[in-house]
Structure formats: structure tokens, C-alpha cells
Amino acid sequence: MALADPTRVAIVARLAGGDATVKELTEPFALTQQAISRHLKVLEEAGLVSRRKAAQARPASLEVDRLVEVLAWVDARRREWVDRHNRLERHLRRLAGGAQAEPGFGGAEHSRRRPGAEHPRRLGGERR
Amino acid sequence: MTESPTDENFTVRHVHPAPRDLVFECLTTPDHLTHFWGPTGTHTPVENIVVDLRPGGAFETTMVSDRGGDTYTMRAVYVEVDAPGYVSWRELDSGVFTEVTFVDLGDGTTEVVTTQRGLPPHMRTPEARAGWGTALQRAATYIAAIAAPEVGS
């Protein structure tokens, strides 16, 4: 993802404070202008940064709306998986607590429940 | 289409209290998926889940909103299947790529590592944006945080 890289996050943070040219963006980093340009290109392709074609220095601008959109989307997707795994764990505990040693459902290891494990919640519990 | 390592959106890790075979089975069998696929606020009836567990095979889920009964269908195709250690799929609409790795921790538990790659689709319509209120709020907070001082690298 465009924002997976710390340098790109730093570039985005820098641009949040105002437009900047590649030269200006290069200064704070121990990187070449070429490397910064490559990072900018990734951000541009993601729609997170735009560059003025006209001006020779082609200063880069942050596309704030798009950034918010992307971060929100990623965050929602991540949460979806965190919630999903929490539900899966409850499902697995229900299986372990219920019918013992169903074929294909594990065996001794699997049915060993941790003492004090909370009572499995009903499936409907987390909906809504 | 291939993804570079930096293309990653996020990785979610979770240790499940069950052996690897079972955890893999849960994530690849409609009878299990229906119990936890969600997402929160929705449910996915077993008859709404299609799993054709082979590369190129379909993985489809039609989620039903708990309120109002609106449905949303996720259509994907399995990319790689290596039971019980690995499975990946690509969503057809967005091209988003999800891979799930199952690691046997040797004590009857399994670590599941879920990674998602790919760019989010542009959300063009106001309707598409409407449901994102809270998420946008969170993102705004996050941006404020990353835009704050020290940017060092």
C-alpha cells in the first residue's frame, strides 16, 4: 500500500504542512532525489499526491480527501478482520466446548479447554 | 497482477485455540464461515457462501445486514491454495488481494496471519461515503497524528 512505507508517510506528513518540490522533500531524508521521486510516484498513482505539470519544479500537493478516504478504508478493512478473528475464536471455543472429538475436529489437544475460559457467548451476541 | 511487498495494507495476527487443520477448515468451509464471517452488523447465511477451494475457484459471500436486510456480495477467486498452511484470494471488483497463513505453534494452537494488499476503490458517490462517518473520523485523527511534529526517518 502507498502508505505502508515510513518514508512515504513522512512525505505525506511534510506535504500536510504545504506543497513542496522534490528538492525540498529530499532535504530531511538521507535519500537521493531519485529515491524521493520514486516514492512520490507511488503516492501519485494512489491518488494521494498531485503535481503541478506547468511549473518546472513541479511541486507536489497532498490530496487530503483521498488520503482520508484511503486511511478510512484501510482502517475499516483491518477492523473487519480483527472482529472476524475474534468471532472465529469464539466459534472455535464453542466447538471445543461442545461435541468432543468430532471427526476432523482436532482431538485431545483441541478439546482441552483452559481453566476459567469464559462461557462461550451466543452467536447473536456480537451482531448489531 | 502482482503485489510488491510494500503494497501491503495491513497484517492482522491472531492465535486461535485450535489445531491448524481445524482453523484452516473454518476459514474455507461454508458450514463454519457462516458462524463468524460477519462483518459486524451483518450475517452470512450458509446458502450465501460459495467455496470452490482450488486456484481459480470461486469464493463468494453475500452478507445480509441485520438491520433492513440489505445484501452485499463479495466476489473473489482463489489464487493459491495450500491446505492447511496457506490460502489467498483476489476480490473481483476491487482487485484487493487477501492472504492467510496458518502457523502450527506446536501446542494445539494456531497463529493465523491475515494480510491484505491492493488499493482501495475510489468511493465516488455520496451514498458510498455516507457509511464512513466514524471511519473518516478515525482517519482524521490518525492524519493529525502523523502530521504532527517529528517526521524523522
Which chain B residues have a beta carbon less than 8 Å from that of A88?
14, 16, 23, 26-27, 36
Q: At A40, is the secondary structure helix, strand, or coil? A: helix
Cβ of B139 within 8 Å of Cβ of A72? The answer is yes
**Looking at CA atoms only, how far is residue A21 from chain B in angstroms?**
17
| Angle formed by the axes of helices A33-45 and A6-16, nearest 10° | 80
Band of residue B144 on the pLDDT scale cut at 50, 70, 90? low
Average pLDDT, chain A: 75
pTM for the model: 0.68
Name the residue among A12, A29, A72 with its Cβ closest to that of B135: A72
The CA radius of gyration of chain B, in Å to the nearest whole number, is: 18
Which chain B residues have a beta carbon less than 8 Å from that of A85?
12, 14, 16, 112, 114
Residues with Cβ < 8 Å from B112, sequence gap 6 or more?
A85, B13, B14, B15, B16, B23, B27, B100, B101, B102, B103
CB-count burial class (<10 Å; 0-12, 13-18, 19+) for A99? exposed
Lowest-confidence segment of A100-109, B18-27, B56-65, B100-109 by average pLDDT: A100-109
Residues with Cβ < 8 Å from B99, sequence gap 6 or more?
B79, B80, B86, B87, B88, B114, B115, B117
Element (H, E) at A94: helix A64-97
Is the pLDDT higher at A30 or at B48?
Answer: B48
b/e sequence B125-135, b meaning 16+ C-beta within 10 Å: eeeeeeebeeb
pLDDT tens per residue, range A80-94: 999 999 999 999 999
Gap between the Cα atoms of B149 and B119, Å rounded: 27
Q: Stretch B40-52: mean pLDDT, rounded?
A: 93
Angle subtended at Cα B61 by Cα B59 and Cα B66, rounded to the nearest 5 degrees: 165
Name the residue among A4, A5, A73 with its Cβ closest to that of B120: A73
Lowest-confidence segment of A47-51, A61-65, B106-110 by average pLDDT: A61-65
Backbone angles phi, psi at A34, to 5 degrees: -60, -45
**What domains can be seen in chain A, in order of their start residue?**
2-62 (1.10.10.10), 64-105 (no CATH)
Would you give the distance in Å from CA B6 to the centre of its chain? Answer: 18
A111 touches chain B (CB under 8 A): no
Which chain B residues have a beta carbon less than 8 Å from that of A12?
146-147
DSSP of B29-84? -HHHHTTT---TTEE--GGGEEE--STT-EEEEEEEETTTT-EEEEEEEEEEEETT
Gap between the Cα atoms of B3 and B52, Å rounded: 23
pLDDT tens per residue, range B91-142: 988 788 999 999 999 999 999 999 998 776 665 455 554 544 455 555 656 6
Name the residue among A74, A83, A123 with its Cβ closest to that of B39: A83
CB contacts under 8 A, A 85-104 vs B, are 85-93, 95-96, 104
**Looking at CA atoms only, how far is residue B55 from chain A in angstroms?**
22
Q: Stretch B55-81: mean pLDDT, rounded?
A: 92
DSSP classification of residue A124? G
A54 touches chain B (CB under 8 A): no
Candidates A27, A67, A85, A95: best to mutate against B (most CBs of B within 10 A) is A85
Gap between the Cα atoms of B102 and B24, Å rounded: 7
Q: State residue B147's pLDDT score.
A: 57
Name the residue among B36, B108, B152 with its Cβ closest to that of A91: B36
Cβ of A28 within 8 Å of Cβ of B151? The answer is yes
Gap between the Cα atoms of A7 and B18, Å rounded: 39
